[in-house]
């Protein structure tokens, strides 16, 4: 059987396998869970033994999780604009947080607009695009989120170290902005009516500041905290552009000088645990819903995060920590229970996969690949790379066991994840691997769009789509 025919048959099977088929005039609901700045520190991926994510792990046990899922850009704005438009940063010119994505992406191309035009009730809440209140494209309704005046707990020393902010709160879970976002999404989930829904629930935590009620910090006693893997000489074989991205003399030097590395890790773990709690509330509501058997779940985080690996903090780099994320699908009738897919994938594939699973036409501008075959059978053949871009001309390709990085100035890195999953040894200078590097480089973009102009990305340029959202374009609270 040809590969093209195989993909067509798998896509058809995905639609027909739902308890209520498209032939009966009903389409599946979609619960689209977006998380901000959560890396791969979740229990089922085993990267950090200290983390506590029972609810995310529960979803993974009920569906299929990807062990090698990557963002298309390691920053909120370009990652979200790419995922929601189905276009790479190199196509749109949206490479960084400082840019306004709208001059490069017309709002009719956005995923939510596509679902809206094709008969879905499309609800959004919290952070889906970059910036408070940014609700690009069409929505049936949108809730920006709300929160009270969150109070720092008296036990906090201060608000962190330089730009790395972390501290416990004296506030309650109910006062957190994400709590209100989940409440609102649960209300939309429980609405009656036959029209299918697409609910995009955007959780801000664990985005900085790593600040949640103190009860979450208490679950991770400081004396028990283990630092992430780190080698002091890890940047010695990295080209100049990579060292610049790492910025070892910035955040990392400040954290070391302050002696608060373990406190920052504790705070990140606490904030992840709080995020998991809110996801649990959402999943509990879905389980109690009469529509649960006809609702697919897609969970993703916009990018990873570094906490000292390669002397780097934050996202904004092309290695494993800032690019790898948690990504889970639960599709009734298709995804097996508790299986994992080890193929590297990136988020450009989410848009076309959702179109396939819901029976919607695939827009012509969408660049990704339909993952339906590997959602149904994670061992099925998959020959597409995962690519991440950070700034024009800087790209990382994950394909098989390899990561290849090329910077705009020509600097290169190559890592073999089969023997070096922590990316300690740059093999780019090995002449025996020249053919491997050339094969990986063949996947890099052939053309790269010019940088879009700067902008605050808050919805002011281009407004709020066609005005179909009812929420106020203002968000209170911590973020």
Q: Which positions are annotated as active-site residues?
A: 76, 130
What is the three-class DSSP state of 372?
Answer: helix
C-alpha angle 106/389/43, rounded to 5°? 105
- The candidate with the shortest Cα–Cα distance to 245, out of 311, 178, 179, 290, is 311
Cα 210 off chain centre by? 17
Q: What is the largest CA-CA distance in the chain?
A: 66
**3-state class (DSSP) for residue 455:** coil
142: left (phi over 0), alpha (psi -120 to 50) or beta: beta
Q: Return the structure tokens found at 141.
A: 């309704």
First-to-final CA distance of the chain: 52
**Cβ–Cβ < 8 Å for 35, 299:** yes
- CA dihedral (161, 166, 171, 173) in degrees, to 10, reads 170
Angle at 220 between CA 342 and CA 256, to 5 degrees: 85
452, 93 in Cβ contact below 8 A? yes
Query: How many CB atoms sit inside 10 A of residue 18's CB?
Result: 23
Q: Which residues of 116-149 are buried (b: 16+ CB within 10 A; e: fewer)?
A: bebebbbbbbbbbbbbbbbbbbbbbbbbbbbbee
Q: Which of 258, 41, 267 is nearest to 152 (CA)?
A: 267
């Amino acid at each position: 059987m040809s590969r093209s025919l195989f993909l067509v048959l798998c896509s058809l099977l995905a639609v027909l396998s739902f308890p209520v088929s498209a032939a009966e005039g009903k389409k599946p609901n979609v619960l689209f869970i977006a998380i901000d700045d959560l890396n791969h520190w979740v229990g089922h991926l085993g990267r950090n033994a200290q983390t506590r994510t029972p609810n995310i792990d529960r979803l993974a046990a009920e569906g299929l999780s990807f062990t090698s899922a990557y963002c298309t850009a390691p920053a909120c704005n370009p990652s979200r604009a790419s995922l929601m438009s189905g276009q790479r940063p190199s196509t749109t010119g949206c490479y960084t947080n400082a840019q306004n994505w709208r001059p490069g992406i017309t709002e009719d191309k956005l995923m939510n607009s596509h679902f809206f035009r094709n008969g879905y009730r499309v609800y959004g809440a919290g952070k889906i695009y970059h910036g408070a209140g940014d609700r690009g494209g069409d929505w049936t309704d949108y809730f920006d989120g709300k929160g009270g005046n969150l109070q720092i707990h008296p036990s906090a020393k201060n608000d962190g170290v330089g730009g790395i902010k972390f501290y416990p709160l004296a506030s309650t879970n109910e006062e957190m902005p994400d709590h209100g976002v989940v409440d609102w999404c649960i209300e939309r989930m429980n609405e009656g009516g036959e029209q299918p829904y697409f609910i995009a629930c955007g959780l801000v935590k664990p985005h900085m500041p790593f600040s949640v009620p103190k009860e979450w910090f208490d679950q991770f006693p400081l004396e028990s905290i283990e630092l992430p893997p780190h080698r002091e000489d890890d940047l010695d074989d990295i080209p100049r552009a990579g060292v610049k991205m790492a910025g070892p003399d910035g955040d990392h030097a400040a954290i070391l000088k302050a002696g608060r590395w373990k406190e920052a890790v504790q705070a990140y773990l606490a904030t992840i645990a709080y995020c998991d709690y809110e996801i649990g509330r959402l999943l509990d509501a879905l389980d109690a819903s009469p529509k649960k058997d006809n609702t697919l779940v897609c969970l993703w985080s916009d990018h990873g995060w570094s906490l000292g690996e390669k002397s780097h903090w934050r996202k904004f780099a092309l290695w494993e920590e800032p690019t790898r994320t948690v990504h889970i699908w639960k599709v009734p009738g298709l995804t097996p229970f508790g299986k994992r897919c080890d193929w590297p994938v990136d988020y450009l594939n989410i848009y076309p996969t959702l179109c396939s699973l819901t029976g919607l036409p695939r827009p012509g501008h969408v660049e990704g690949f339909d993952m339906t075959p590997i959602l149904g059978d994670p061992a099925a053949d998959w020959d597409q790379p995962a690519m991440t871009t950070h700034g024009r001309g800087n790209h990382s390709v994950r394909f098989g066991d390899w990561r290849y990085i090329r910077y705009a100035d020509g600097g290169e890195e190559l890592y073999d994840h089969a023997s070096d999953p922590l990316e300690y040894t740059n093999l780019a200078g090995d002449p025996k691997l020249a053919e491997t590097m050339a094969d990986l480089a063949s996947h890099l973009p052939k053309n790269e769009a010019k940088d879009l102009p700067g902008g605050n990305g808050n919805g002011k340029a281009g407004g709020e789509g066609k005005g179909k959202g009812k929420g106020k374009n203002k968000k209170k609270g911590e973020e």
